[in-house]
Amino acid sequence: MEPQMLDHRLAQEHEELRRTVEEFAREVVAPKIGDFYERHAFPYDIVREMGRMGLFGLPFPEEYGGMGGDYLALGVALEELARVDSSVAITLEAAVSLGAMPIYLFGSEEQKREWLPRLCSGEALGAFGLTEPGGGSDAGATRTTARQDPATGEWVVNGSKCFITNSGTDITALITVTAVSAVGEDGKKEISAFLVPSGTPGLTVAPGYSKVGWCASDTHELFFDDVRVPADAMVGERGRGYAGFLRILDEGRIAIAALATGLAQGCVDESVRYAGERRAFGKAIGEYQAIAFKIADMEMRAHFSRLGWRDAASRLVRGEPFKREAALAKLYASEAAVGNAREAAQVFGGYGFMNEFPVGRFYRDAKILEIGEGTSEVQRMLVARGLGVG
């Protein structure tokens, strides 16, 4: 019998994409992003270039303006961007896996043809309105409501959402919102999803948050006060909004794992460089075993994070179950990113506490990865349930 060989290398088209995005991140993003980060400003010029490269359309078919790629391609791009900066990476991640993907997976043909070409080109951004104040991980406790006006057929949305990425930029075109569309006699909520175009009367975008990290990304709280949308604004089947968005979150965890892997690897890149340049007590600090072993452990975490998200993405692309693998990848990679950011700051010493150095930004950006798109506690719960315990 011929031996079966596992090959974890990227296919040629994915490797070419990786190199292209790596060069873009190094030559375009790296020199500029620190200034945007310090000013808490959204990097429109960088986003436009990403649009011209086709990054926002990576996993979507060409018939809708996409690049005809897959979720593995999106992960490759996210990892390379996050090796340099997470604000840019999360802008892409949220725009694709949260903003456009619900329309692609669950939208009508008319919705796809109306919205996806603009979203795939990067000309417009979409946002994902799920999290609510007081809700957090309990997304099923949705309080935002949508009632149908019997006279016009329009849906009238009332409520609020919080921590919504890409929801208040000059190019934000729409927000997909989950809302309670009915309550059964048993008190069970029927949750549906609705497209709310930016600028719709009654939609208020609050001022941007003052955040610890991701300071060059766009994040807002949203308020809906009798926001009226047409009857055909519903995304997918009535009452299937919550189930649909659980699927979106499963896929999004793979994307966040790829992003976290990029941050973890960026910490290694910066630490290796600095350990070779910085001298103490007569020699480069990388020659000291304490520093060398620290960096070796960082590389270990980045390496296995990469294997984890690529395995989950490959299962998704092949049409196989991937929920457990996505949770494992997101859990491990996010905690690896936090660990590597902490250790990189230690390698850099006092300079690791300065925002002018990438590791200072990495340190501020890492923690949210253990929280967003499912906390580490939620991931452990999902893995445990899959094993029949917990």
Q: Which residues are catalytic?
A: 373
What secondary structure does DSSP assign to 29-78, as a single string? Answer: IHHHHHHHHHHT---HHHHHHHHHHTGGGTTS-GGGT--S--HHHHHHHH
Residue keyed to tokens 């909520």:
189
Which amino acid, one-letter code, is at 229?
V
Query: Contact, 88 vs 46, CB < 8 A?
Result: yes
Query: Contact, 14 vs 72, CB < 8 A?
Result: yes
**Backbone φ, ψ for residue 132 (5° rounding):** -125, 155
Burial 19-40 (b: 16+ CB within 10 A, else e): ebbbebbeebbeeebbebbeeb
What angle, 0 to 180 degrees and rounded to 10, lies between the N-to-C axes of helices 358-366 and 241-277? 150
Q: What share of the chain is helix, strand, coil (3-state, %, to 5)?
A: 55, 15, 30
Angle (CA) 75-77-83 rounded to 5° is 100
Q: Across the chain, which distance is largest between two alpha carbons, in Å? A: 82
